[in-house]
Amino acid sequence: MKKSNLNKPIMMNQFTVLWAVIAIFFVFTASCSKEDSENNPSDLPTSFRVDVPSSISQNATKKDALSGELSGGEIYQHLNNFIYLGDASAELIEDIIVGIRIYGLSQPMTFTYVSEEDGRTKNVVVIDNATFEGTIWEHQLSITDAESEGNEDKGYAIQVFWNVSPIEGIAVLKPFNWDRSGVTSSEKTIFRVEYSEKADANYEAHMVVTIYGWEETVSDRFHMDNLKMFVGKDGDRIDVYGNSNHPDAWLFLQEPVGFNWAFVASGSETKNIGVAEVGLPPSSLDETSREVILETYSIKNVFTSQIREYIYQIYGVYPDQAGLDTLLQNTDAPGYFNSGGFVQGGTAPSGNYEELTTTISTMVPYNPYTITNLSLSFKQ
């Protein structure tokens, strides 16, 4: 059987727009280095994320990895994109916090300023001993868009709750209220990062990145609306698991519509290699089992089933298995990565991947149904 494009997924528009949004906010901190921040008397953290190795976190749109014929490399490269998306969102929030830190916010205060980004008035409130989600935090910072405070969202642009020693906190950002000038994100889009340097039995530091309500301005059936991703650091090893939801997506058959891109991954910082496993469960699947999410709905199983039915509907015969195996080469789990991205699927390139392969065998993504239906909000 000859290879075919078969209506394969293309998601470049979505990522191009998001990178533009992130670039807009980086302007805010372009002149604010961490060294500048550390020299100011503020209790705001100088770090607020766990860095993810580039082997499993890359902006694949820059490599044109989402075009051409269907291949295992392209399929796994989508995973790199989603992890990169979560990591870039966390970096965005961290850089905003660093930028704010240079103003020396170290005690309760209230003041107003005019934003250099959109020329709008912003109100700033810093309080101590704030309660949020059942936890008492040493400090809380809130910035609102003054003209929007009468709206349902109270005009909140960013809220940061944090403790100093060890550093841990929650940051919630609404791009629309932070900078109205040229922002292409939806009014309801919210980013959230939970970060902790409080060591536990599994990790010395970890973060959870959540994106809610991302709406694509360009028509794309593969657009993403929600994402949630955990990242944990244990020495040289970085573990990642999570899901992104694509409510209008379909692959080769127009039904069912909507699926999660569910994943587990582990990478080595020093070796810059990684291992990952991916599933494509329906958005409506209410399931926590690793076997169901990653094995029943593995890339190979889902693609095999849909391509067989797709060919049958067109030609009245099912494709031979040998042809399918050729078409779907490198879709076997797990996928192996190095600094250049995806290497191969199914078989490890070397013994260097053994620990990472063992690690992901016990990791589980989130319940797809909860990611499909998640929501984010500020403390009111």
pLDDT in tens, 254-272: 888 999 999 999 999 999 9
**Model confidence band, residue 335 (pLDDT cutoffs 50, 70, 90):** very high
Residue-wise pLDDT for 42-68, tens only, equals 677 788 889 898 888 877 654 443 333
**Measured between alpha carbons, how far is 120 from 28 in angstroms, rounded to an integer?**
14
CA atoms in the 13 A half-sphere facing the CB of 124: 17
Q: Exposed/middle/buried for 146, CB within 10 Å: 0-12, 13-18, 19+? A: middle
Residues 6+ positions from 225 with CB-CB distance below 8 Å: 212, 213, 214, 215, 245, 246, 247
Q: CA angle at residue 279 from 224 to 230, to 5 degrees?
A: 65
The string over 31-47, giving b where at least 16 C-beta atoms fall within 10 Å of a residue's C-beta and e elsewhere, is: ebeeeebeeeebbbbee
Pairing state between β 109-114 and 121-132:
antiparallel
Which tokens go with 259? 């699926």
Question: What percentage of the chain has pLDDT greater than the value 90?
Answer: 55
The average pLDDT across 334-352 equals 93
Q: How many Å from the N-terminal Cα to the C-terminal Cα in the chain? A: 59
Q: What is the 3-state secondary structure (H, E, C) of 43-109?
A: CCCCCCCCCCCCCCCCCHHHHCCCCCCCCHHHHHHHHHHHHHHHHHHHHHHHHHHHHHHCCCCCCCE
Q: pLDDT: is 302 or 14 the higher one?
A: 302
Query: 259 pairs with which residues across the strands?
Result: 246, 282
Query: Does the structure show a pLDDT above 90 at 126?
Result: yes
Compute φ and ψ for 125, nearest 5 degrees.
Answer: -130, 125
**Measured between alpha carbons, how far is 102 from 37 in angstroms, rounded to an integer?**
5
| pLDDT at residue 107 in the model | 81
Which tokens go with 234? 């244990």
The average pLDDT across 123-133 equals 95
Q: Is 182 left (phi over 0), alpha (psi -120 to 50) or beta?
A: left
Is the bond preceding 108 in cis, omega lying within 30 degrees of 0? Answer: no
